[in-house]
C-alpha cells in the first residue's frame, strides 16, 4: 500500500528551553501566553494531560510567517484548520522530538555530523515504535573525536531537539514560521530560562 500524500504530517513548530534539562509548569506557561494573546480558547485536554488551545488574537504578531500567504482559518470554528497550540506535561527527563525532517545531529564537542544517529537510538529504544520511544539519554559516539554524549546533548539544529517542557504549534511547515523576540522573552520571563525553537515532522 502506498500511503496517501494527505496523511503526511505538515509539521510543527516546537518551542523549548535552550537547556533541555529545564522544566516549567505547563499551566503557568499557558497562562502567560494567554496574557500576551498567543493562545485563545481552550480545547479539551487530552487523556495524556496535554493542554490544548486555539490561537489567540496576537498570534500573528508573535510568530513571523514567511513564504506563501497563510490563512489561520476561522479561529472560532471547532473544526477549523490552522494552527493549534499544545502544552504536554513536563517530563521527568528530556524527550527527543525528531521526525522525517531530522538531519544528522552534530557532536557537542567537535561539531562533526553523525550520519547513523537513528541506528544507535533505535537499538537503545525500549519499544518498537519508531520515533516516540527513542531514548534521549541513549549514548551517541562521535566518529570524529570519539566523544560519547547523550542524544539530547547533540545539536539537531532546527531539524529536531530535546526538552522536558515544550510548546507545540501544529500545523507549521518547517521553516515557514518562527517565534519573534517578544514571544521568546515572554517565555523567558515566565520560566526563568532562555528558550529556542526547532521543527518536527512526524
Ligand atoms: Zn566529536
**Mean pLDDT, residues 52-62:** 96
pLDDT for 83 equals 83
**Mean pLDDT, residues 46-67:** 94
> Nearest-CA neighbor of 149 among 139, 136, 159?
139
3-state SS of the chain is CCCCHHHCCCCEEEEEECCCCCCCCHHHHHHHHHHCCCEEEEECCCCCCCEEEEECCCHHHHEEECCCCCCCCCCCCCCCCCCEEEECCCCCCCEEECCCCCCCCECCCCCCECCCCHHHHHHHCCCCCCCCCCCCCCEEECCCCCCEEEHHHCECCCCCEEECCCEEEECCCCCCEEECHHHHHHHHHHHCCCEEEEEECC
User: How far does residue 154's CA lie from ligand 1's centre (Å)?
Assistant: 10
User: How far does residue 143's CA lie from ligand 1's centre (Å)?
Assistant: 7
pLDDT for 4 equals 55
pLDDT for 1 equals 46
Is residue 152 within 8 Å of 137, Cβ to Cβ?
yes
User: How far does residue 161's CA lie from ligand 1's centre (Å)?
Assistant: 18
**Mean pLDDT, residues 2-7:** 58
pLDDT for 58 equals 97
pLDDT for 120 equals 87
Its sign, for the CA torsion 5, 7, 13, 14, is negative
User: How far does residue 18's CA lie from ligand 1's centre (Å)?
Assistant: 20
**Mean pLDDT, residues 109-136:** 79
Other C-beta atoms closer than 10 Å to the C-beta of 148 total 11
User: How far does residue 19's CA lie from ligand 1's centre (Å)?
Assistant: 20
User: How far does residue 115's CA lie from ligand 1's centre (Å)?
Assistant: 12
**Mean pLDDT, residues 94-102:** 95
User: How far does residue 144's CA lie from ligand 1's centre (Å)?
Assistant: 5
pTM of the model: 0.89
pLDDT for 81 equals 60
- How large a percentage of the chain has pLDDT more than 70? 85
User: How far does residue 193's CA lie from ligand 1's centre (Å)?
Assistant: 27
Q: Which has more confidence, 5 or 201?
A: 201
Amino acid at each position: 500500500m502506498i500511503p496517501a500524500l494527505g496523511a503526511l504530517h505538515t509539521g510543527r513548530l516546537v518551542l523549548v528551553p535552550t537547556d533541555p534539562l529545564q522544566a516549567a509548569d505547563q499551566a503557568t506557561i499557558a497562562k502567560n501566553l494567554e496574557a500576551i494573546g498567543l493562545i485563545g480558547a481552550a480545547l479539551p485536554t487530552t487523556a495524556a494531560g496535554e493542554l490544548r488551545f486555539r490561537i489567540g488574537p496576537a498570534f500573528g504578531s508573535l510568530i513571523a510567517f514567511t513564504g506563501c500567504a497563510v490563512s489561520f482559518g476561522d479561529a472560532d470554528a471547532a473544526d477549523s484548520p490552522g494552527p493549534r497550540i499544545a502544552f504536554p506535561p513536563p517530563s521527568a527527563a528530556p524527550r527527543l522530538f525528531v521526525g522525517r525532517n531530522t538531519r544528522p545531529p552534530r557532536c557537542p564537542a567537535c561539531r562533526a555530523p553523525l550520519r547513523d544517529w537513528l541506528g544507535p537510538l533505535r537499538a537503545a529504544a525500549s519499544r518498537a515504535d519508531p520515533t516516540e520511544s527513542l531514548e534521549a539519554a541513549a549514548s551517541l559516539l562521535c566518529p570524529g573525536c570519539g566523544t560519547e554524549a547523550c542524544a539530547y546533548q547533540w545539536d539537531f539544529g532546527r531539524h529536531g531537539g530535546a526538552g522536558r517542557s515544550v510548546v507545540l504549534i501544529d500545523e507549521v511547515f518547517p521553516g515557514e514560521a518562527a517565534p519573534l523576540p517578544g514571544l521568546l522573552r515572554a517565555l523567558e520571563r515566565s520560566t526563568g530560562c532562555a528558550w529556542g525553537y526547532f521543527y518536527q515532522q512526524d
